Structure 1
Amino acid sequence: MVLAAGRGERMRPLTDALPKPLLAVRGQPLMQWPMQALARGGFTRQLINTAWLGEKILAHFGVQANWPGLPVVDLAYSHEGQDFGRALETAGGIVRALPQLAEVFWVVAGDVFAPDFVFAPEALQRFAASQHTAHLWLVPNPAHNLGGDFGLSATGQVLNLPKGSVGRNLTFSTIALYKKTFFANGGLSAGNPEGVALALAPPLRAAMDQGQVSGEVYAGEWTDVGTPERLAQLNG
């Protein structure tokens, strides 16, 4: 699943007429980088959620992508904007799309640039065989998030540490593997027919406290393209 429903407020005015995931980075739409990386790993059934200007994402990619040197990708959509008039936040959007997703699935934000990341089938298989319900890729804290999001134990457990903790030295890259069971305890009905908006952080932190979230560090190039300045740096 490629997350592409956000408004991109901090990117205005660039996002007034174009959804942020379609902004160009090094010659192609930002969200196309993870989509192609998924295809390179053999993940050729991809789902995109949309809200703000979602019709432009559908118009750009259609229902099938055929990039040179990559397998054909079949695209499905979850149009939160059309269905509910707004984005459902990350967890709400994922639950909305669950009926179209496999039992174990990747999620990546369409506004994060991580060109070196490898979506490996072996990683999915290892996670599927584990007792965890989520597996996160974390990056060293960037300048815009020096306080970090989480910690990571020596055994690969993601730790829900209080703000200001010494070990809270990692930031969530947005790239993750989930099992459908992760979302079973969030209080939302399957498929989220009511269109409830729900952030991802609270259920993630609750699952960490129960020892259900594993993780690892991704050391490759990574940028949360959250401001026009970061976009300009990537394209400089």
Structure 2
Amino acid sequence: MNPPAPKALILAAGRGERMRPLTDHTPKPLLPVRGKPLIEWHLEALARDGVRDVVINTAWLEEQFPAALGDGSRWGLRIRYSFEGRDHGGALETAGGIAKVLPTLADGPDDVFWVVSGDVFTPGFVFSADAAARFAAGPALAHLWLVPNAPHHPQGDFALSPQGLALADGEPRYTWSSIGLYRAAMFVNVPVGRRLPLRPLLEDAIRRQRLQAELYHGAWTDVGTPERLASLG
């Protein structure tokens, strides 16, 4: 019998300052792309690839998410919401947001789960059960997908070793796609309610040689400005 698919967290708590005025009244992940909310592309892909349990963290205009997406049953999903605005007065950043919902995503420190940003558009990405199983069987704390650098981010984020490890230094450098698999152990020491970005935890995993990465060459857009949103048609 195959193990159950990992759960997934979609990050949707940000204010979307660079997208104003579009995000003054609509959270960025709910802005329409090709006829449906941006976040719905992730929900459809996760459901297609066998994921059944999804958490969405929210803060800015957070009441709009359950109103728009419901309980996920229309996609065959079970959606739960993590209301950071209601509970903490604002977004907890990435690591803080993950720590808040860790008991929902994982039963123990070795459990793994997907995390994807709600403001990237990557319609062809596969949330592969095989990739998740390989990651779970190894020692890494996280496995990131990297993409070629876009014009607005030419310096990239990480280099990649021949062994498939992410590196803080080196050339060429690539951009972190905001898609990854994570092991719960990476977040067990983050206090619930603390605002904490993910980057320090990733850099610690790099120092310990426990951060894997691979290149993704499919379509990918960081929907960070109205111009990039418009370019998607």
TM-score (norm 2): 0.93
Which one of the candidate residues 145, 167, 173 is aligned to 1:169?
Answer: 173
- In the alignment, the residues of structure 2 paired with residue 152 and residue 178 of structure 1 have an alpha-carbon distance, to the nearest angstrom, of 18
Structure 1 position 64, deviation (Å): 2.5
- In the alignment, the residues of structure 1 paired with residue 115 and residue 89 of structure 2 have an alpha-carbon distance, to the nearest angstrom, of 23
Write out per-residue CA displacement over residues 25-74 of structure 1, whole angstroms, 9 at most, x where no aligned residue. 0111001111111111100110000000010011111112314xxxx111
Write out per-residue CA displacement over residues 114-146 of structure 1, whole angstroms, 9 at most, x where no aligned residue. 001001100100000011010000001111110
Using the aligned pairs only, state the percent identity. 54
Which one of the candidate residues 123, 139, 151 is aligned to 1:143?
Answer: 151
- In the alignment, the residues of structure 1 paired with residue 153 and residue 36 of structure 2 have an alpha-carbon distance, to the nearest angstrom, of 27
Q: Does 2:197 correspond to 1:199? A: yes
Aligned length: 221
Partner of residue 81, structure 2:
77
Q: Does 2:28 correspond to 1:20? A: yes
- In the alignment, the residues of structure 2 paired with residue 232 and residue 64 of structure 1 have an alpha-carbon distance, to the nearest angstrom, of 27
Secondary structure of 2:24's counterpart equals coil
- In the alignment, the residues of structure 2 paired with residue 181 and residue 157 of structure 1 have an alpha-carbon distance, to the nearest angstrom, of 18
Secondary structure of 1:126's counterpart equals helix
Write out per-residue CA displacement over residues 171-196 of structure 1, whole angstroms, 9 at most, x where no aligned residue. 00000000101113xx423xx0xx21
Amino acid at match of 2:149: N
Alignment of 1:25-104 (within 5 A): 25-67=33-75, 72-102=76-106, 103-104=111-112
| Unaligned runs of at least 5 residues, structure 1 | none
Partner of residue 11, structure 1:
19
- In the alignment, the residues of structure 1 paired with residue 71 and residue 202 of structure 2 have an alpha-carbon distance, to the nearest angstrom, of 31
Structure 1 position 168, deviation (Å): 4.4
Identify which range, 9-18 or 58-67, moves more after superposition. Answer: 58-67
The alignment's C-alpha RMSD in Å is: 1.0
Which one of the candidate residues 171, 178, 185 is aligned to 2:182?
Answer: 178
- In the alignment, the residues of structure 2 paired with residue 212 and residue 169 of structure 1 have an alpha-carbon distance, to the nearest angstrom, of 18
| Unaligned runs of at least 5 residues, structure 2 | 1-8
Amino acid at match of 2:117: A
- In the alignment, the residues of structure 1 paired with residue 19 and residue 102 of structure 2 have an alpha-carbon distance, to the nearest angstrom, of 29
- In the alignment, the residues of structure 2 paired with residue 135 and residue 58 of structure 1 have an alpha-carbon distance, to the nearest angstrom, of 29
Q: Does 2:151 correspond to 1:155? A: no
Partner of residue 190, structure 2:
188
Structure 1 position 232, deviation (Å): 0.5
